[in-house]
Amino acid sequence: MFERTLADLVRGIRNHKKNEDKFISQCIQEIKEELRGDMSKKALAIQKLTYITMLGYDISWASFNIVEVMSSAKFSSKRIGYLAASQSFHEGTEVITLATNQIRKDFLSNNQYEAYLALNCLSNICTPDLARDLANDLITLLSTQKTHILKRTILVMYKVFLRYPEALRPAFPRLKEKLEDPEPAVMSCAVNVICELARKNPKNYLTLAPVLFKILTNSTTNYWMYIKIVKLFGALTPLEPRLGKKLIDPLTNIINTSSSMSLLFECIQTCIIGIPDNLPLMKLCISKLRTLIEHPDQNLKYLGLLALNNIMKIYPKAVSEHREVVLGCLDDEDISIRQRALDLLSGMVTKKNLPDIAAKLLRHIETAEGSYRDRIVEKIVELCALGTYQYVTDFEWYINTLIQLSEVSETAHGPLIASQLLDVTIRVRVVRSYATKQMIALLKSPKLMANPKEGGICEVLYAAAWIVGEFAAYVNNPVESLEAFLQPRVSVLPAHVQSVYMLNALKVFAHASAEAATGGEHAGAITQEERDDQTTVVECTPVDASTVEECLAILHARLPLFTQSIHIDVQERACLVSEILKFYGTMRDQGNDIAGELVTLFTEALNPVAPKAQKKVPVPEGLDLDAWINDPKLQVVDSDTEDSDSDIFGSRVDAGNNGTNDSGDESERSFDISRAKEERIQRNASNPYMLGGGKKTQKSIVDEEMTHIPVAALPANLGPVIVGGKMDAKKKKPKKFTIDTTTEMPENARPDSDDESSSSLHSKRKQDALSSININEPLTASDVLPVARHRSDIQREKEMERERELAAQRAAKRGASSSAKSPQSPTASVYTDITSPEVQAKGGKKSAKSKSAAAPAPAPVVVKKAPAVYLPITLENCEYFTLSFELTKVDQPPQPATSTTSATVPIKLSLKVQNKSDEDLSEVLFTLVESQKDKITVTGKSSAFDIGVLEAGSNTTISQTFNLATNTIIPQLTLKLTGTSSESIDIDIDIPIPMSFFIVKTKISKDKFAEILQKSASMASASVKVPSITIQKAIEILADQLNIEVVQCHPSGSTASFYARTNQNQHIAMLAKDRDGVTSFDIKSSDSSLAQLLVKQLSTLFLKQQQLN
């Protein structure tokens, strides 16, 4: 059968340009055939599939075949399989688990090319399962000598950490070593991984700073690694300010001398992040950046602007001296560069150049497209609004600019422009007259209504309508504006805009009628003073009764269109307006002109509401917000019986008819609270009295100076400024204006300003599993990686487990009789390191009495939750027994504090004895040695506990409670094990008793501590030195394992004092100092033997810690 090779496939695809899809599906059919063939055919097929994946075809159906090819013995096939796997497998690929063992086998293979393939592939396809199953092997592989494999393993580890964060702690010590690897490539990989890790949780890696610093100052030519290290320092310095100082010199050096632009750039970035308070360095950075920005290479220009932007975030004004250069970049033909320059503008504006910059940006809008255009619009608004219009000197200009912006087609910033218009007009009183005039023009213009979409540019009309209505006193021709309000095409606008139109039409009418009735003396009229303050004085044509009639006619003619609106909100407002007008009409017919009363409806000024003001409204006394308003039972019935549609309808009708349908039945009123809230929000959105939106009420410092600038009074005969025409700069006089930055707060607002923004920021910080791991804690028993084992091993272990359970049950039965009186609380179990080399014992044969010593207990770890662990006692030269023991302290029943009777400490010893020989043993017996009998007593009858006959291969567990005399510290329990087989056996066993059994956890204040030290000048002292261990760690270990508590720790972390008390009320005081890589412990104790004993314990304890690390 004819088979296409990969080359044939590629050629075929090129030859079938027109019907590529058809050709490929034909090929896939062939491939499916080939996958049924032998291995070489399969490999060929998979090779082709790999190419096809690249073209965007899903080949997940072939995943199993890929695994097959991966396990091929032939290297070239295997390679194809691995490539296909790394290209197409992902977390959802189920067959990956089938490949676990294949991958393990391959990366441990002697053939380093197979190991390459496996590791490369693993880095691409690592799933949490794979990571968990392979982590242990990979950590082992970290100690390989083969550089090529080592490099890959290090990088794969990063992926493993990501997928299986538990692996980080056990693997980290090895990883740390690699930082000092002589091979630069290995070092570079380790730096890479640690750099990535440090981005997640920099605190963990501070201890590596010295090593990294050494790498930085040793010159290599590997710029990529340099870059990573510099980046890593960037992450570390914010946490450790001293590091920043150390870095100044090397970084300055690199910045000044390096020929590599990438390295230079990275150093500058790190300086900005890490050491921003060093001014000379910052100046150097800024000057270097300037050369980058002026560089003809566009790439450098781009990056220069990027970095300058970062500086600007810290020193907003530092970059202003490069204004010209940055403004020059605005004209660059490259959009990426223009965007970056745009970002920088907020640091560049001044009062003087704001109009120029804005004009420049406006020119750019004409040619810009897509999102860039929107960004420019946003930027112009942002620049002008900066610091509550700090840089705007001419608000008429700003209103014009905003209007110009609203003409930008298809901008997404309608709401933004609208909110700016509202904000400016409300805050800056003097511009109101001008704004109102312009807004009427805007309302009449058909442009904005061309594309009536919610959130689009027609939102500007919302603002325009509101301004015209609210400042209706400045409206010079009410008829004209009412016509604009009620033109038929308004009915295509979004509902909330239409509602605003309705109410504001009423406002305009109210003002006009009041004006006609009172001749400018009504409540809503503006004073002459206010009028004079306006930047633009609009000539108001006097309003007379005929104008009012004209207005009424328009309203009557046009309103019906809106009272029939399909939008309920609009309908409601329109009905309201027409009802009020009807009332006005009837009253006037009766001879009462209520125009003055009508306008008082709208005279109260509406000010911006402070953000969070709503929240700060105090809850009135006696109001329980959580209490039911209606009986909850009714609501249940309601939601069960009525479907939601009719419910909404019912409630909406209520609103629409303005309460006429008030007598609806009970259930109709009790609609869902949440729905009511939603509705309220909706209503508020369309309510001109509610100024929602954070942008409108930007809080900032009041520019007080500005309000106090002495300004010459405007001459009365200045006359109206020509609107829309060219403004003559020379004629322009500085105008007096105030920016009202106050915002309304409810009365008796609660003062507590919960800093919500910062707290939410806090919670936003990524909290993934990897970043929450602390690698500085010492490794504990729980940091064990799963090891793949043969199932027979697992079975055997299960059997052991079962036996132990049985034994424990047996022991419990026995213990019940012997120590029924002392209740056994859950006790802490104790174990020592199994492989500890010191664990040794000499066994005796033929009654040759020999001493055996169990592990001299390198201070046992107290594991609170872990199940009891039996520790082996190695018996040398003993072919009969395997022994393991567990020693726990039996908690004593609470005794009266004054009691001195507690002369003993009860401990429970469980011994597991196995006869490993093939002879049966009889008379197996443990006895307490004579020398210890005065210190230790055995609960129960005798000092011996016997097992009797122990058959070949069998095992048993016995347990016994001992009482240790408390008048002295007993370092070990010595037992004699005797037995008889063909010969008699006699072995001495030493079981170490952890010191913590004798130490009572005591916390005392430092004053008390000093007192004790002073009083007992005659204390015995001893000291011990151990290789460096951080004090923090020492505190943890001592508290954990010896019950010794820290009293005081020097903030620098170099010294700490400890205190403990033995059960004989002997004091132990200890001072730990960390100096020059050696930690010394000075111990003072009332008992010299105690001090010596502690010295021994400490040295073994810390030695063991170090081995663990």
Positions touching other proteins (CB under 8 A) are: 6-7, 10, 47, 50-51, 53-58, 60, 74-76, 79-80, 83, 87-88, 90-91, 111, 113, 116, 119-120, 123-124, 148, 151-152, 155-156, 158-159, 185, 188-189, 192-193, 196, 199, 222-224, 227, 231, 261-262, 265-266, 269, 298-299, 301-303, 333-337, 339
Q: Minimum distance from CB of 270 to other proteins (Å)?
A: 11
Comparison of 126 and 950: residue with beta carbon closer to other proteins: 126
In this structure, are residues 388 and 739 in contact, taking their beta carbons and an 8 Å threshold? yes
Comparison of 152 and 427: residue with beta carbon closer to other proteins: 152
Query: Between vectors from CA 810 to CA 808 and to CA 812, what angle results, nearest 5°?
Result: 70
* DSSP state, residue 874: -
Distance CA 866, CA 892 (A): 21
Comparison of 56 and 896: residue with beta carbon closer to other proteins: 56
Comparison of 38 and 752: residue with beta carbon closer to other proteins: 38
Q: Minimum distance from CB of 182 to other proteins (Å)?
A: 15
In this structure, are residues 906 and 821 in contact, taking their beta carbons and an 8 Å threshold? no
Distance CA 1031, CA 1053 (A): 6
In this structure, are residues 205 and 771 in contact, taking their beta carbons and an 8 Å threshold? no
The residues facing 607 across adjacent strands are none
In this structure, are residues 916 and 881 in contact, taking their beta carbons and an 8 Å threshold? yes
Copy the structure tokens of residue 1023. 């000291």
Q: Minimum distance from CB of 135 to other proteins (Å)?
A: 15
Q: Minimum distance from CB of 191 to other proteins (Å)?
A: 10
Q: Minimum distance from CB of 33 to other proteins (Å)?
A: 22
Q: Residue 123: which H helix or E strand, with range? A: helix 112-125
Copy the structure tokens of residue 960. 């016994």
Q: Minimum distance from CB of 380 to other proteins (Å)?
A: 21
Comparison of 369 and 755: residue with beta carbon closer to other proteins: 369
Q: Minimum distance from CB of 333 to other proteins (Å)?
A: 7
Comparison of 55 and 1108: residue with beta carbon closer to other proteins: 55
Distance CA 207, CA 185 (A): 22
Q: Minimum distance from CB of 286 to other proteins (Å)?
A: 19
Comparison of 10 and 1108: residue with beta carbon closer to other proteins: 10
Comparison of 154 and 484: residue with beta carbon closer to other proteins: 154
Query: Between vectors from CA 697 to CA 371 and to CA 409, what angle results, nearest 5°?
Result: 25
In this structure, are residues 405 and 442 in contact, taking their beta carbons and an 8 Å threshold? no
Q: Cα Rg for the chain, rounded, in angstroms?
A: 43
Strands 921-928 and 972-980: antiparallel
Q: Minimum distance from CB of 291 to other proteins (Å)?
A: 15
Phi, psi at residue 186, to the nearest 5°? -65, -45
Comparison of 321 and 334: residue with beta carbon closer to other proteins: 334
| Amino acid letter for position 219 | S
The residues facing 993 across adjacent strands are none
Q: Minimum distance from CB of 93 to other proteins (Å)?
A: 10
Residues 6+ apart with CB under 8 A from 963: 904, 905, 906, 907, 936, 937, 938, 939
* DSSP state, residue 478: H
Question: Helix, strand or coil for residue 868?
Answer: coil
Q: Minimum distance from CB of 58 to other proteins (Å)?
A: 5
Comparison of 269 and 957: residue with beta carbon closer to other proteins: 269
Comparison of 90 and 447: residue with beta carbon closer to other proteins: 90
Q: Minimum distance from CB of 376 to other proteins (Å)?
A: 16
Comparison of 261 and 568: residue with beta carbon closer to other proteins: 261
Q: Minimum distance from CB of 917 to other proteins (Å)?
A: 53
* DSSP state, residue 745: -
Closest CA to 409 of 456, 441, 359, 363: 456
Q: Minimum distance from CB of 113 to other proteins (Å)?
A: 5
Comparison of 43 and 386: residue with beta carbon closer to other proteins: 43
Distance CA 233, CA 237 (A): 6
Phi, psi at residue 1082, to the nearest 5°? -100, 125
Write the CA distances from 365 to 107, 270, 354, 906, 1092, integer angstroms: 58, 35, 16, 87, 84
Q: Minimum distance from CB of 21 to other proteins (Å)?
A: 12
Residues 6+ apart with CB under 8 A from 48: 4, 6, 9, 27, 31
Question: Helix, strand or coil for residue 1078?
Answer: strand
Comparison of 148 and 976: residue with beta carbon closer to other proteins: 148
Strands 1067-1075 and 1055-1062: antiparallel
For 428-452, give one letter per residue: b (16+ CB within 10 A) or e.
bbbbbbbbbbbbbebbebeebbeeb
Q: Minimum distance from CB of 112 to other proteins (Å)?
A: 9
Comparison of 94 and 799: residue with beta carbon closer to other proteins: 94
Comparison of 88 and 504: residue with beta carbon closer to other proteins: 88
Distance CA 840, CA 188 (A): 44
